[in-house]
Amino acid sequence: MKIAIYGQYYQNNTEEIVSKVITILKKNDFEVFIEKTFAENLSTISTKEYKTFSCHEELDESTAFLISIGGDGTILRAVTYIRNKNIPIVGINSGRLGFLATVQIENIELFINKMIQGNYTISQRTLLSLSSKPINHDLDDLNFALNEVSVSRKDTTSMITIETYLDNEYLTSYWADGLIISTPTGSTGYSLSCGGPILTPEVKSLVINPIAPHNLNARPLVIPDNTEIKLKVSGRENEYLVSLDSRITSVNNETVLYVKKSDFSIQLVEFPEEGFLKTIRKKLLWGEDRRN
């Protein structure tokens, strides 16, 4: 059985984590694949000893799991390798507590063994897909996002106007620094920092959230996830920025964007001891106030 490993080399303990994970997997006779760039940055790993992958075509449905080592951003990048292959992702957190990478360093052996034994649940996570008219070829291939699609101003301090339609019905024109369209997974990310609501992962909704709106009555809006959102952006500059999770491109003002729920989802492995509710309690310090 094959297991893929992907990571970002940011923390001093990354080598130790990878070695521990590989030792457990080899002990259980798993075939280990490591993302090539990650493997080359690990001094204790020989790329001659392990098979590597460098693009999504080199992973297939026969891969039992992808283990992501890093933080939430690492999982977002791992999604670009998984795409629609239905490979479950296990997130090992090598830094600060994350909402997605919830397996802590001290529990690696416990949870990897639970994964091997099948003592876990799968959380199906909605993605957003993005298309444009006229077609922008920068958005052709990686046109999906697990957290959010956002538009924002470029090369100016002036606000932009985002004309917004829901299923072709005019909603409003946001005059703001930008606009975030978030999945339930992304509701604990950029949208949350802009005052958006937290959605539990299984909710079939999306959040439309303006970034620093000039209209103070412009509030975050929760909509059904089967809604198609159309955006027309205008401003003082000829271009604006579009981001899909951590990927950013420039788009001309006359470009119209269409955002909707993707036709595939991402599978995140969850363990009862590190579930969503426990994670947000720890991350947001809920209950720390003794008056509660």
Verify whether residue 72 is a known catalytic residue.
Answer: yes
pTM metric for this prediction: 0.92
Cα-based distances in Å from 233 to 145, 154, 169, 220:
20, 12, 16, 18
> Does pLDDT of 124 surpass 70?
yes
Please check if 73 is assigned to a binding site.
yes
Query: What domains appear along the chain, each with residue ranges and CATH number?
Result: 2-125+265-283 (3.40.50.10330), 128-261 (2.60.200.30)
> Does pLDDT of 141 surpass 80?
no
> Does pLDDT of 48 surpass 80?
no
User: What is the percent of the chain with per-residue pLDDT over 70, rounded to a whole number?
Assistant: 97
When the pLDDT of each residue in the chain is averaged and rounded to a whole number, the result is 92
Q: Which of 29, 72, 140, 141 is catalytic?
A: 72
Please check if 245 is assigned to a binding site.
no
The pLDDT value given to residue 41: 85
Please check if 268 is assigned to a binding site.
no
Task: DSSP for 75-122, please give it.
Answer: HHHHHHHHTTS---EEEEESSS--SS--B-GGGHHHHHHHHHHT--EE
Please check if 77 is assigned to a binding site.
yes
> Does pLDDT of 32 surpass 90?
yes
Amino acid identity, residue 84? N
Give per-residue pLDDT as tens, 160-217. 999 999 999 999 999 999 999 999 999 999 999 999 999 999 999 999 999 999 988 9
Give per-residue pLDDT as tens, 143-166. 999 999 999 999 889 999 999 999
